[in-house]
Amino acid sequence: MSVAEAHGETLEQALASTYAANPTLNSQRAVTRATDEYVPIALAGYRPQVTGSASIGTQWAEVRYNAGSGSANYRYKADPSTLAITISQSVYDGLKTASSVRGAEFQVRGQRELLRNTEQLVLLDGVTAYMNVLQNAALLDLQKQNVAALREELRAARDRFSVGEVTRTDVAQAEASVASAESELASETANLNTANATFFQVIGQQPKNLAPGRPADHLLPASMDAAVDSGLAHHPAILASQFAVDQQVSNVKVAEAALSPTLSMKGQSGVQYNYYDDGVPIERGTSASATLDLTIPIYQGGSEYANIRKSKELLGQSRNEVEVKRQQVRANVVQYWGALRAARDAITSAQVSVAANEIALRGVREEWRVGQRTTIDVLNAQTSLFNARSSLVTAERDRVVASYSLLAAVGQLNARELGLKVALYNPQVHYNQVRDAWIGVRTP
């Protein structure tokens, strides 16, 4: 049984389930939503800050004074209380807030590319898990057929041994082949169980009657050079690293703002009450103030200079990281382009090998019946046919996985390009909901 002989759930349906329910992908979406909040955090630097304060207490006092030759003592107890409200607004902060906002926006855009990259990796894991189940199921079926054929050869060898047509050696060789095949059958069963478990882990459901997986050749570039160019232009890992550079540029400007003067306005209004317990009337006082504060940093211990130098080094590191990602993408495209071509050639070779080994097995069996071949010749022919069929199954699996791996390498393995019938996740929606929010603790 080859990979193309199964029927039922399709690869596209499995990938749709993966896209909708995979916990790794959902976790990265939550990280993306959390990253959106860095923008309103940065925007808070433009907004006023309002604080309120209140105090209440008890005060005792004793006053002694002299009037001419006389003196008097005065004692009282008061319960003062105050209420105040303060509003402060930054006027100029060395462009720290503006740089922080730009940096946060670049961070959001970079995180979206990381989400796209995670989507690619998860969908590729889904393809691999799907094809591994098909492959292991086909190999298990082939191994069962192989065991049945070898047992038949063993039965025939024993029958011919009983009438003296073959020796005990022929029977022993058949028994050894059956034992080896049964061991491989147990191993293939374990491999299928492992593949089923991985399928459930990635896709979120148990595999049932999987249809053959089709390669994604129709979505691939026409040449390797075009594939390399597409990967360098569209791969999310490269784009994320480029946004990281932009973010680090903003971080340098934020650090440099520590050397700039700052200007802020502050307004305060308050009221104070005094309650006396000796019959004196209540006192009430109000106050209001407005100030414009200018702060000019002269020397702050040197930490601000260290932060600037650190930010510049991180900027250089992020620029180097862009080239690292570009080299990785280029290498992956070349690798998977070669793997896809190799898988196609392997399928053609395996098909020829299967056809030739089927003819050879039939011929060897006929010759064995008339005494022109030994039992070991038949066993070897049966093993060769099994190996050829197994190679065909593996090559079919490798072709599908290689095509999707190449699609991921060029940065195009996503639900939209695949046309999956599933609601697409749009990170822009959450960003628009929280960007200009001034208050609120509920998540959208």
Which pLDDT tens digit goes with each residue over 281-307?
566 788 899 999 999 999 989 999 999
DSSP H helices in 163-235: 168-203, 224-234
pLDDT at 2 over 60: no
Residue 370 DSSP one-character state: T
pLDDT in tens, 238-277: 999 999 999 999 999 999 999 999 999 999 999 887 766 5
Residue 282's pLDDT is 66
Residue 274's pLDDT is 73
Comparing C-alpha atoms, which of 416, 235, 400 is closest to residue 332?
Answer: 235
pLDDT at 215 over 90: yes
What's domain 3-36+112-241+324-434's architecture? Up-down Bundle (1.20)
Q: What is the average pLDDT score of the chain?
A: 91
Residue 170's pLDDT is 87
Mean pLDDT for 96-109 is 96
Residue 76's pLDDT is 64
Query: What is this structure's pTM?
Result: 0.87
Give whole-number Cα distances, 127 to 8, 14, 218, in Å. 16, 8, 16
- Strand runs labelled E in 327-415: none
Residue 65's pLDDT is 66
CA-CA distance, 407 to 332, in Å (whole number)?
A: 10
Q: Where are the domains of the chain?
A: 3-36+112-241+324-434
Asked whether the beta carbons of 435 and 36 are under 8 A apart, the reply is yes
Structure tokens at 23: 């916990």
Residue 372 pLDDT grade (very low, low, confident, very high; cuts 50, 70, 90): confident
CA-CA distance, 437 to 105, in Å (whole number)?
A: 15
Q: Strand 283-295's sheet: what is its strand order?
A: 49-56, 81-92, 262-274, 283-295
Asked whether the beta carbons of 119 and 414 are under 8 A apart, the reply is yes
Residue 371 pLDDT grade (very low, low, confident, very high; cuts 50, 70, 90): confident
Give whole-number Cα distances, 371 to 153, 360, 363, in Å. 15, 16, 12
Q: How many residues does the chain have?
A: 444
CA-CA distance, 287 to 295, in Å (whole number)?
A: 25
pLDDT at 77 over 80: no
pLDDT in tens, 169-178: 989 989 999 9
Give whole-number Cα distances, 122 to 13, 305, 329, 379, 410, in Å. 15, 43, 17, 43, 15
List Cβ<8 Å contacts ≥24 apart for 151-158.
151/178, 153/177, 153/375, 153/378, 153/379, 153/382, 154/178, 157/375
Residue 46's pLDDT is 94
pLDDT at 4 over 60: no
